[in-house]
Amino acid sequence: MTNGTAGLAQTQPLRPLDTRIPFLATRAAVQLDNLILKRTKSVEAIARLGASLRETATVSASAVSKKALVDPLAIRILRLVSQQAVKDAPTAPDDLVRQAKDNGDKLVAAAAGTATDDELRMLRTYCLALSRALASFQQSRQEHLKPLHRIRR
């Protein structure tokens, strides 16, 4: 497994700045697609992403419940993902965190083979939205960090 997910621990919380997360989410979407088509080969990315989402949601939920500072970037990304993947997208931080935890639980269940086809399709959409949102954020961040052209300085 040299495709960029080897160093990502199974229960490591998701960090928006981690460049491996969009790739992991995309791999999970492909594996979910294979589950939908009954061509199961591997569910490793699904299990890793599910465990990471659950861990992230647990950490974020404790911050929300304590009214501490929640990572605003993580909430912003979760809101964007939710808007792209879910019809009635929640907007409150605690609802977004709860949705991420629920989807993490569903991903773990999908890796275990206990998810329905409708859940698999919804999870595939969620994984693709997560991948797009994080990749888009990372790309815009990289462009922002580039030095200005000498004429624009």
100-139, pLDDT tens digit by residue?
889 999 999 999 989 899 999 999 999 999 999 888 876 6
Residue 78 has pLDDT above 80, yes or no: yes
Q: Are 46 and 130 in contact (CB under 8 A)?
A: no
Provide the pLDDT for residue 24: 92
Q: Residue 70 above 90 pLDDT?
A: no
Could you give the CA distance from residue 76 to residue 128 in angstroms, rounded to a whole number? 16
Q: Where along the chain do its domains lie?
A: 21-145
pTM, full prediction:
0.76
- What is the pLDDT at residue 110? 93
Burial class (CB within 10 angstroms; exposed 0-12, middle 13-18, buried 19+) of 125: middle
Query: Cβ–Cβ contacts within 10 Å for residue 31, how many?
Result: 26
Coil, helix or strand at residue 7: coil
For 7-63, write each residue's pLDDT tens digit: 444 455 666 567 788 899 999 999 999 999 988 778 999 999 998 888 877 766 665
Cβ-based neighbour number of residue 12 at 10 Å: 16
The pLDDT of residue 147 is 60
- What pLDDT does 145 receive? 53
| Cα 147 off chain centre by | 30
Span 93-103, average pLDDT: 87
